């Protein structure tokens, strides 16, 4: 599903340069639920943003479903993001002034899919446990409920991969658990491929595999670089 070879990312130039990724090799199989973990500054967000086509690497290779992601034009990238990827961030980023249901429909409108989209959005909101909240505004529901609405929104276009960047960082323990159990259910029951950045050690119990990062390299759990730079298979 995802194949990354010797991926590097350097921010800035010269003396101001920061090497955020130093040669990442990583494969993610269809249907896998992978967590990217490591200390603050280890490169987790940088890697997730590159995988999600929200940023570009300095060098390396990157394929999704066999397609070379670094050869896409800007228009193809935008289209690929909308059609194949779903995103969940720490901030739910729902649009105020729109109902939860309308928010979930937004990415589908971006693809010009009009028909049956409200029905699909309604079904997804049932799946995430918000069947009773369709007409509420984002500000009228809890943080955990907003995040579940954001998850439904991320799934509206049937993405091949769901990317989540610290999805529970703004939530209390109970809401966090609900969100992670929801990810687990989507992964198990729908076969949804999920790549999630988290710094919560407890989140490990929900995923198939943890990819540890240290100083922009794949590491072992105790922080040693792996000599082959490759993450373990599940
Ligand atoms: P993590 O998500 O693990 O906390 P990041 O990917 O955010 O790590 O950051 C990795 C390194 O790259 C850090 O040293 C960070 O300061 C640096 N970095 C991240 N984003 C930028 C940026 N936009 N400009 C310059 N340096 C950055």
Q: What is the DSSP code string of 60-127? A: EEEEETTEEGGG--HHHHHHHHHHHEEEE-SS--PPTTS-HHHHHHHHHHHTT--TTHHHHHHHHHHH
Span of 83-87, 191-195, 221-225 with lowest mean pLDDT: 221-225
Ligand 1 atom nearest to CA at 216? 10
Helices (H), 136-205: 143-155, 173-190
Q: Is residue 143 part of a domain?
A: no
pLDDT digits (tens, 9 = 90+) for 45-99: 999 999 999 999 999 999 999 999 999 999 999 999 999 999 999 999 999 999 9
Class of residue 106 by CB neighbours under 10 A (exposed 0-12, middle 13-18, buried 19+): middle
- How many angstroms separate the alpha carbon of residue 45 from the centre of ligand 1? 7
**Residue 177's CB: how many other CB atoms inside 10 A?**
16
* Sign of the alpha-carbon torsion through 91, 95, 101, 107: negative
pLDDT digits (tens, 9 = 90+) for 12-38: 998 999 999 999 999 999 999 999 999
Residue 56 maps to which CATH number?
A: 3.40.50.300
8 CB within 6 A, ligand 1: no
154 CB within 6 A, ligand 1: no
Q: Is residue 108 part of a domain?
A: no
107 CB within 6 A, ligand 1: no
Contacts of 170 (CB under 8 A, 6+ apart): 90, 91, 143, 147
38 CB within 6 A, ligand 1: yes
| 69/54 Cα distance (integer angstroms) | 12
Give residue 58's domain range.
2-93+159-219
Q: Is residue 88 part of a domain?
A: yes
Q: Is residue 229 part of a domain?
A: no
CA 9 to chain centre: 19
pLDDT score at 229 = 54
Taking residues 180-191, what's their average pLDDT? 94
Ligand 1 atom nearest to CA at 49? 6
112 pLDDT exceeds 80?
no
Q: Is residue 54 part of a domain?
A: yes
* Sign of the alpha-carbon torsion through 204, 207, 211, 216: negative
Q: Is residue 232 part of a domain?
A: no
Ligand 1 atom nearest to CA at 40? 4
- For 36, the 3-state DSSP assignment is strand
223 pLDDT exceeds 80?
no
Q: Which residues of 54-71 are buried (b: 16+ CB within 10 A; e: fewer)?
A: eeebeebebbbeeeebee
Taking residues 136-156, what's their average pLDDT? 95
Confidence of residue 232 (pLDDT cuts 50, 70, 90): low
Residue nearest to atom 24 of ligand 1 (CA): 11
- How many angstroms separate the alpha carbon of residue 11 from the centre of ligand 1? 8
Ligand 1 atom nearest to CA at 42? 3
12 CB within 6 A, ligand 1: yes
pLDDT score at 200 = 87
- How many angstroms separate the alpha carbon of residue 35 from the centre of ligand 1? 18
- What's the domain count of the chain? 1
46 CB within 6 A, ligand 1: yes
Q: Is residue 139 part of a domain?
A: no
Quick one: which of 161, 152, 76 has its CA closest to 108? Answer: 152
Contacts of 51 (CB under 8 A, 6+ apart): 2, 4, 62, 161, 163, 195
- How many angstroms separate the alpha carbon of residue 135 from the centre of ligand 1? 38
Structure tokens at 192: 């949804």
11 CB within 6 A, ligand 1: yes
- Record the pTM: 0.92
Residue nearest to atom 23 of ligand 1 (CA): 11
C-alpha dist (Å) from residue 127 to 43, 121, 156: 33, 10, 12
228 pLDDT exceeds 60?
no
**What is the percentage of the chain residues whose pLDDT exceeds 90?**
85
pLDDT digits (tens, 9 = 90+) for 113-136: 767 899 999 999 999 999 999 999
pLDDT score at 187 = 96
Q: Is residue 11 part of a domain?
A: yes
């Amino acid at each position: 599903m995802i194949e990354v070879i010797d991926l590097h990312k350097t921010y800035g130039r010269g003396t101001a340069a920061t090497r955020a990724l130093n040669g990442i090799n990583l494969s993610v199989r269809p249907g896998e639920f992978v967590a990217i973990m490591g200390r603050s500054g280890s490169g987790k967000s940088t890697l997730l943003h590159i995988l999600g086509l929200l940023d570009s690497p300095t060098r390396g290779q990157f394929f999704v479903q066999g397609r070379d992601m670094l050869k896409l034009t800007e228009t193809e990238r935008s289209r690929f993001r909308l059609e194949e990827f779903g995103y969940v961030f720490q901030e739910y980023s729902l649009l105020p002034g729109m109902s939860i249901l309308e928010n979930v429909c937004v990415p589908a409108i971006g693809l010009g899919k009009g028909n049956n989209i409200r029905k699909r959005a309604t079904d997804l909101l049932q799946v995430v446990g918000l069947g009773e909240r369709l007409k509420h505004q984002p500000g009228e529901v809890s943080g955990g409920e907003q995040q579940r609405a954001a998850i439904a929104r991320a799934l509206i276009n049937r993405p091949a991969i769901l990317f989540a960047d610290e999805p529970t960082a703004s939530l209390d323990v109970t809401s966090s658990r609900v969100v992670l159990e929801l990810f687990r259910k989507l992964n198990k029951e729908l076969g949804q491929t999920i790549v999630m950045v988290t710094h919560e050690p407890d989140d490990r119990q929900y995923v198939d595999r943890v990819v540890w990062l240290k100083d922009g390299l794949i590491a072992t759990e105790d922080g040693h670089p792996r000599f082959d730079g490759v993450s373990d298979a599940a």
